């Protein structure tokens, strides 16, 4: 096949959207302008299995969908794909592969779906310029048997206008054009929108952080044990977390013998990393990679360099003590808000540092003959 083949099929619209013929900006490439009411809607593309819109899908490696939306917030698209091996029941229902992807506003973004991703071998796809987190779920689909795919514009608080270029099947990954537009300010905030409470400048963020540290809140008062258990009831203290059936229901019991309802927050860490590679022109300012702000930078192998403006701002406020100050702020807030558990994907050893119950991810785990999903074993199996 040629490098690119356009999918030549008129989408059917469903929901609160209308579709108009248009063209992509600064080009004569055809497009659809979709006007979506707050309820959102769906574009549905159908055709012969493995040849939706004309191209033979197995001759390509990527589905490419140009997207432009000029709101002041990101757009969360959901692309779904149906396999002809499944029964054709329902218009947009039934078993399918689903790929959800976030799209930057304000400039033309190439949404690129590797056709191999339809096998659902991985949960998260690598982020590409102009797109955000991409999540793959559902039922595996063979690209050679795709007979329907759809694009969902989600519900929103206000009407949305989205420009979609005609999708195409390609053997090559496209060029990602990123404009020289500073949409991220020096604090890591979105530059093109104002909102109540938006921080105004470096002096303001430094003053706020220092004030929060000086006025840290007290722990939530209540009938709580040192582990966060419910002291109004007492079982035998074993020194360990365990389960207990009292003849009526099961309880999770803390080491002191008190019923324990785990209220946890996951992903507790100071870094909030954002990719930088090929996106440099979007930032009004980036910190130096060495010296004072070195802790704000990290590298994720082939995914390139990442920067954390949350750490940048902590360094601005507390200097070399930034990490200790974050520990102090975080523990005080967690206890004030009533959390009693450090949930998964948090900074290692945080539970021990805070003397708070914690969960941790398993690097490996046993398998069972029947699996619930992908490699997740049946935890109730007799195996």
> pLDDT averaged over consecutive 10-residue blocks of the chain (383 residues)?
78 93 86 94 94 92 93 91 72 76 92 95 89 92 94 92 95 88 93 92 98 96 95 96 96 98 96 91 95 95 88 98 98 97 95 94 84 80 85
267 phi, psi to nearest 5 deg? 60, 40
For residue 361, give the 3-state DSSP assignment. Answer: coil
Q: Which residues of 191-224 are buried (b: 16+ CB within 10 A; e: fewer)?
A: eeeeeeeebeeeeebbeebeebbeeeeeeeeeeb
Q: For 4-170, which CATH superfamily applies?
A: Galactose-binding lectin (2.60.120.430)
Per-residue confidence (pLDDT) for residue 260, from 0 to 100: 98
Mark out the alpha helices in the chain (DSSP H runs): 202-214, 309-318, 322-337, 350-354
Token pair 């750490």 is at which residue?
311
CB atoms under 10 Å from CB of 172, counted, come to: 11
Per-residue confidence (pLDDT) for residue 318, from 0 to 100: 98
Per-residue confidence (pLDDT) for residue 95, from 0 to 100: 75
Per-residue confidence (pLDDT) for residue 25, from 0 to 100: 86
Per-residue confidence (pLDDT) for residue 372, from 0 to 100: 80
Per-residue confidence (pLDDT) for residue 84, from 0 to 100: 87
CB contact at 8 A, 311 and 295: yes
Q: Taking the domains of the chain in order of start, what are their residue ranges? A: 4-170, 180-215+262-383
Please name the residues in contact with 180: beta carbons below 8 A apart, sequence gap of 6 or more.
281
Residues facing residue 13 across a β-bridge: 43
Per-residue confidence (pLDDT) for residue 203, from 0 to 100: 98
CB contact at 8 A, 55 and 46: no
Tokens matching residue 150: 């759809």
CB contact at 8 A, 57 and 143: yes
Tokens matching residue 93: 């229902």
Q: How many residues belong to the chain?
A: 383
Per-residue confidence (pLDDT) for residue 1, from 0 to 100: 43
Whether the predicted model's global pTM rises above the 0.75 cut: yes
> Where does residue 244 fall: left (phi above 0), alpha (psi -120 to 50 degrees), or beta otherwise?
beta
């Amino acid at each position: 096949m040629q490098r690119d083949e356009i999918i030549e099929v008129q989408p059917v619209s469903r929901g609160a959207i209308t579709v108009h013929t248009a063209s992509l900006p600064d080009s004569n490439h055809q497009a659809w302008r979709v006007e979506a009411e707050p309820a959102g809607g769906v574009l549905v593309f159908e055709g012969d299995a493995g040849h939706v819109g004309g191209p033979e899908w197995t001759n390509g490696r990527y589905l490419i969908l140009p997207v432009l939306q000029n709101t002041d917030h990101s757009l969360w698209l959901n692309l779904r794909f149906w396999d002809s091996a499944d029964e054709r029941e329902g218009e947009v229902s039934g078993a399918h592969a689903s790929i959800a992807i976030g799209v930057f506003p304000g400039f033309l973004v190439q949404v690129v779906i590797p056709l191999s991703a339809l096998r659902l071998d991985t949960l998260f796809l690598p982020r590409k310029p102009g797109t955000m987190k991409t999540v793959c779920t559902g039922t595996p689909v063979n690209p050679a048997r795709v007979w329907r795919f759809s694009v969902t514009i989600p519900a929103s608080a206000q009407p949305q206008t989205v420009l979609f270029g005609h999708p195409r099947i390609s053997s090559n990954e496209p060029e990602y054009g990123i404009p020289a537009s500073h949409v991220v300010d020096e604090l890591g905030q979105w530059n093109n929108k104002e909102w109540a409470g938006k921080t105004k400048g470096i002096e303001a963020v430094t003053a706020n952080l220092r004030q929060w540290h000086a006025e840290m809140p007290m722990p939530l008062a209540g009938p709580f044990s040192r582990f966060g258990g419910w002291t109004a009831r007492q079982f035998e203290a074993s020194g360990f977390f365990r389960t207990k059936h009292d003849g009526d229901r099961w309880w999770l019991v803390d080491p002191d013998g008190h019923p324990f309802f785990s209220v946890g927050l996951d992903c507790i860490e100071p870094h909030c990393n954002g990719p930088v590679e090929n996106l440099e022109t979007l930032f009004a300012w980036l910190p130096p990679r060495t010296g004072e702000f070195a802790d704000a930078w990290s590298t994720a192998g082939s995914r390139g360099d990442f920067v954390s403006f949350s750490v940048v701002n902590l360094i601005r406020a507390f200097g070399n003590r930034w990490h200790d100050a974050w520990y102090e702020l975080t523990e005080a807030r967690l206890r004030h808000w009533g959390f009693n558990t450090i949930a998964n994907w948090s900074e290692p050893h945080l539970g021990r540092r805070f003397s708070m119950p914690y969960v941790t991810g398993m690097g490996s785990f046993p398998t069972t003959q029947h699996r619930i999903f992908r490699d997740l074993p049946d935890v109730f199996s007799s195996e």
